[in-house]
Amino acid sequence: MNAKRKRVVVTGLGVLSAIGKNRAEFAESLLAGVGGIKSSEMYNRYFENCYASELVDDYDYAAHIAPDVLEGLDLVALWSYRVGREALEDSGLFGNAEYLREAGAMIGVSSAGTEAFLPVLLNNDDAVSDAKVRVAGSYSSAGPGVAALFGLGGGYEVIATACTASPNGIGLAFDAIQNDKNKIVLSVGAEPLYMPTFAGFKVLDAMSDGPCSPFSGTPGMSVGEGAGAIVLEEYEHARARGATIYAEILGYATSCDAYHETSPDPKGDGAALVMSFALRNAGLEARSIEYVNAHGTGTEANDKAESAAIRKVFAERTDVPVSSTKSFIGHNISSAGIMELIACMVTLPKKKIPATLNFTEARPYVGDLNVVANTPGDGSVNLFMKNNYAFGGNNCCIIAALEPESVPTPPATARRVVITGLGSLTSLGIGADAFFAGIEAGRSPSQEVDLQVIARADAAADGEQSPVFWMSRNPGVRKILERLPLDAGGRLRLRTHQVEEFSPRKHLRTVDVRKLQPVSIFALVAFQQALKDAGLKISKANREELGMILGLSRGPQTAIDNYFSSLSPDPANARISEFSKALYNSVASQCSITQGVRGYNTTLATGYSSALGAIAQAYEVVRTGMQNYMIAGAADESAYGFSLMIHAQNNFLNYGLADQDFRVYGEDSRGFHIGEGAGLFLLETPESAVARDARIYGEVLGYGRACETTLLFSKHAPVGDGPGVSGSQAMARAIRAALTEADLAPEDLDLIVGSSWGTAEADRRELEGIAEALGDAAAGIPLTNLNGYFGFVEAAGAGLNLMGALRSMHSGTIAPIAFAPTIHGEFAGRFDFVLAESRRAQKIRRALVTGASEGGNCYAVIVGAGDSV
């Protein structure tokens, strides 16, 4: 069917940088040619001749945030609050609970979860903060932080594609508004300059010996820190409330070079491709663009590739102005794109084109590019392009116009989306057949691990050392770890579900598996399984129309532990080989590089259940015609390093050593056994599936996303008037949104598959949310949860439960909840729980799958039977 394409506009701006602590100061410095890259006060004590764009944050956070909340927040959350508040105030929305309870958030980060552990990384005697580990110790923490601080209840995603994270977040916000999931989305990027980032680029020898000079002079980059936020809003909604409109977002795209882990394609083909994709999405041609804000890091590799890419795309126009804002503020990694987009929106309306500072003699490969050098150019610009590129070949391009309604909206087609390929790797085995067979046989293969967590002076250290062992000399770390049920020797015994031993080389014959981290191996094997199951072969003809979205929780934990441990005691000895692997986007990038896939590529680090967020976004990408095929899902590796400290704080783990100790929804539910693996899906249109004679497992009928806003505020109300959104309310809202999109009533559902991880809080949030959304109908719909069979695979678990739902549709049988728990009295009788003694055969036409992150972000996905397509 033909759907009306909505216009998406920017109605609020907020920025924090070394050249301005708000949008007015930022604009003034850009127009005056004042740069912020100077000799580093932070890092010259560790390295020689360091330059960076560093800021002094003098904001009085205590005047706005309660003390017991403030003590747990890191700079990522605080800077997000500062710029987010400026943007929301600018938009006239700050404190307006009516609007904000429905608003979403997209947060681009690269260094979240780092600050809590800096005392250890910097080898000083400061104790690690108990509060910061609890609140800000995980990568996904930026999501619930932003949601709670502003009372945003419309759901969030944490985007982790390094240098393209914030513009990718803007793209996801654009899609959420297009599909009526939100009228308003706050998009944020925040990047404090922490040691792991600085040391990585320094040891890579990528730094300039002075302020960087993109496209000219001696190659080299300057790193920076800062944050940016924009309010995106549906145009008619913004007009109706009389909002100021800075620009209209016309379209965006992401892609992957599929070339190298750290270097861009030197021919610029990947960068050119993403520009072409974005122009296609916006319904424009290159000749319409009047200015390009380049990625422009200043390195030889980037500037050479980017120059070639711009010449390819703008072959008919050598006069289009090009400049790099990084010459002012350095490379702000995850926040770079959004800050540079804001730079365009505060200078171009004044008929001034941002300059490239420090420009001397153009490098030979720059050729005839029209680089705006040293002073702002004069000119009237309406249509402009913002480009960003990242390690792993992740590319992003945004097309915008200063004047809303200045170009026609392109036609949009809301295509149906089906699932045709399943790929899994869990303790149950490799491939969907092994996964289903294990569940049907009632298997729950697990093993006991014995980890040396801390050293005890009066006991010999034996057993396998946990990666967190080296940190335990810090008194704060030790205090936290001693909350675990350690024995007299400082050891911890756990029941875990691990991927059975197998030969990766047998499945990954074209890649050197010795260089891969476990989570990348899991994702790659599942990727290949999904393609094989769908009967889709990658070729030159389709590799640009196949993309990937991967959800992660702990991410590449082995590489992170290895890299972080190499920083202490001397960061100059940082392991270069581990730096790029420790980036969250390295996993999806490695999949695309290995398989030669060049389409849409992004990574969501929203934490638990982020597989459903990845599948929902892949559905959007195929539905709107951005790509024809998408691989989506999540992967996790067993993690006993930094994440072990987080588990010690949140008390989610079940320390029972029997398989049946992990039970969900039970009177005796007390947490989960750790699982690992991957679950990936191939999504496409029914037409392409039928043309290929592919098996259709099911159709994605709709999804919903919402989040609780009270997580950080057990004693204090969120910003604004009125109550916040509780976890069960968020789950109910997500389910209602999915039903609305699917055009279904609760009575139309035949199956509910939950993904709770077995704590009382998680069980209650899920079940009360289901009951609130479905009402009396909930008691008549079978409800199961499969996590007990394969352990709780944090990011991937909800996706694996979705696989179970699809299997039930085909087999006509519903697998029971593992280990037949005695249902908690509060819920017994209110739901039709499928237990071992009630295993049943039933025709399933439509299934609801639910999941939630540890930060209270709730998902609901509804799928329909494949034979009805």
* Burial category of 316 from C-beta neighbours within 10 Å (exposed 0-12, middle 13-18, buried 19 and up): exposed
Of 361-375, 449-463, 526-540, 584-598, minimum mean pLDDT range? 449-463
Compute how many other C-beta atoms are within 10 angstroms of the C-beta atom of residue 4. 10
Nearest to 188 by CA among 338, 331, 328: 338
pLDDT at 718: 44
Angle between helices 269-282 and 300-313 (to 10 degrees): 40
Distinct helix (H) and strand (E) counts, the chain: 28, 36
- pLDDT tens digit string along 26-76? 999 999 999 999 999 999 999 999 999 999 999 999 999 989 899 999 999
Lowest mean pLDDT among 152-166, 233-247, 497-511: 497-511
| Burial (Cβ within 10 Å: 0-12, 13-18, ≥19) of residue 12 | buried
Query: Which residue from 244, 258, 265, 324 is spatially nearest to 291, judged by alpha carbons?
Result: 324
Could you tell me where the beta strands, DSSP code E, fall in 637-748?
674-675, 677-684, 698-707
The tokens of 639 are what? 């993690």
CA 292 to chain CA centroid, nearest Å: 26
Section 617-643 average pLDDT: 93
Q: For residues 674 and 58, what is the distance between their CA atoms, to the nearest angstrom?
A: 42
Question: Residue 462 pLDDT more than 70?
Answer: no
List pLDDT tens digits, range 76-107. Answer: 999 999 999 999 999 999 999 999 999 999 99
Q: Is 687's pLDDT higher than 90?
A: yes
- 237 is known as an active-site residue: no
Is the N-terminal amide bond of 569 cis, ω within 30° of 0?
Answer: yes
Instruction: Check pLDDT > 50 for residue 513.
Output: yes
pLDDT tens digits for 163-187? 999 999 999 999 999 989 999 999 9
Among 239-243, 456-460, 660-664, the minimum mean pLDDT is found in 456-460
What are the tokens at 656?
């029972």
Query: Which is nearest to 445 in space by CA: 500, 493, 525, 492?
Result: 500
Which pLDDT does position 307 carry in this prediction? 96
Which ranges in 599-726 belong to alpha helices (H)?
610-623, 642-650, 686-691
One DSSP character per residue, 266-334 reads TT-HHHHHHHHHHHHHHT--GGG--EEE------HHHHHHHHHHHHHHTTT-S--EEE-THHHH-B-GG
* Residue 554 token pair: 């702990």
Q: Per-residue pLDDT tens for 300-339?
A: 999 999 999 999 999 988 899 999 999 999 999 999 999 9
Count of C-beta atoms within a 10 Å radius of residue 783: 24
**Among the listed residues 599, 602, 578, the one whose alpha carbon sits nearest the alpha carbon of residue 588:** 602
With contact defined as beta carbons under 8 Å apart, do 453 and 484 qualify?
yes
* Residue 50 a catalytic site member: no
Instruction: Return the C-alpha torsion angle 101, 107, 113, 119, nearest 10.
Output: -100
Contact 253, 626 (CB under 8 A): yes
Task: Please compute the mean of the pLDDT values over residues 465-488 and round it to a whole number.
Answer: 84
The residues, ordered by sequence, that sit 6+ positions from 769 with a Cβ below 8 Å of its Cβ are: 727, 728, 729, 730, 731, 732, 734, 735, 850, 858
Pairwise CA distance, residues 319 & 311, whole Å? 10
Which DSSP letter does residue 335 get?
G
* Cβ-based neighbours of 205, under 8 Å, separated by 6 or more: none
Better-predicted residue by pLDDT, 605 or 867: 605
The CA-based diameter of the chain, rounded to the nearest angstrom, is: 78
Half-sphere exposure of 57 (CA within 13 A, CB side): 20
Catalytic residue, candidates 50, 163, 591, 858: 163
Considering the chain, what percentage of its residues have pLDDT values greater than 90? 79
Q: Give residue 717's pLDDT.
A: 40
The pLDDT tens digits for 816-844 are 999 877 888 889 889 999 998 666 889 99
The answer to whether the beta carbons of residues 386 and 341 sit under 8 Å apart is: yes
149 pLDDT band (50/70/90 cuts)? very high
Choice among 212, 256, 331, 397 that is catalytic: 331
Rounded distance between C-alpha atoms, residue 282 and residue 174, angstroms: 12
Strand order in the sheet with 223-224: 38-39, 51-53, 223-224
**pLDDT in the model for residue 716:** 39
If you average pLDDT over every residue of the chain, what do you get?
A: 92
Predicted local confidence at residue 456, as pLDDT: 64
Residues 6+ apart with CB under 8 A from 239: none
690-735 pLDDT, tens per residue? Answer: 999 999 999 999 999 999 998 664 433 444 445 678 999 999 999 9
Instruction: Report whether pLDDT(556) > 70.
Output: yes
Please give the Cα distance from 268 to 785 (Å, whole number).
47
**Among candidate residues 63, 38, 164, 139, the one with its CA nearest the CA of residue 794:** 139
Q: What is the mean pLDDT of residues 362-366?
A: 95
Across the range 795-819, mean pLDDT stands at 96
Residue 327 pLDDT: 97
Is there a contact between 177 and 234 (Cβ–Cβ < 8 Å)?
yes
- Tell me, what's the pLDDT at 644? 86
Q: Do residues 675 and 832 touch, judged by C-beta distance below 8 A?
A: no
CB 570 within 8 A of CB 654: no
pLDDT of residue 720: 45
Q: Please report which helix (H) or strand (E) contains residue 394, including its range.
A: strand 394-401
Alpha-carbon span 290 to 379, nearest angstrom: 9
pLDDT of residue 838: 67
Q: Of 610, 846, 868, give the one whose Cα is nearest residue 751.
A: 846
Alpha-carbon distance of 605 to 140, in angstroms, equals: 6
Q: Is the pLDDT of residue 281 over 80?
A: yes
pLDDT digits (tens, 9 = 90+) for 210-267: 999 999 999 999 999 999 999 999 999 999 999 999 999 999 999 999 888 878 888 9
260 is catalytic: no
What is the SS3 assignment for 681?
A: strand
Residue 461: is its pLDDT beyond 60?
A: no
Residue 497 phi, psi dihedral angles, 5° rounding: -110, 110
Residue 242 in tokens:
């009389």
465-486 b/e (C-beta count within 10 Å ≥ 16 → b): ebbbbbbbebebbbebbeebeb
Query: What one-letter code names the amino acid at 760?
Result: A
Say if residue 1's pLDDT is above 50: no
Amino acid, res. 703: Y
Which of 860, 858, 863, 861 is closest to 154 using CA atoms?
Answer: 858
Which candidate, 457, 563, 717, 673, places its Cα nearest to that of 196?
Answer: 563
Sequence-separated (6 or more) residues with CB below 8 Å from residue 327: 35, 37, 211, 212, 213, 214, 296, 298, 355, 356, 357, 358, 359
Task: Choose the catalytic residue: 50, 256, 295, 707.
Answer: 295
Is residue 159 within 8 Å of 106, Cβ to Cβ?
A: yes
Kindly report the length of the chain. Answer: 869
pLDDT over 70 percentage in the chain: 96
Q: pLDDT category, 868, cuts 50, 70, 90? A: confident
- What residues does 414 pair with on adjacent strands? none
**For position 715, what pLDDT does the model report?**
38
Q: Helix, strand, coil shares of the chain as percentages rounded to 5? A: 35, 20, 40
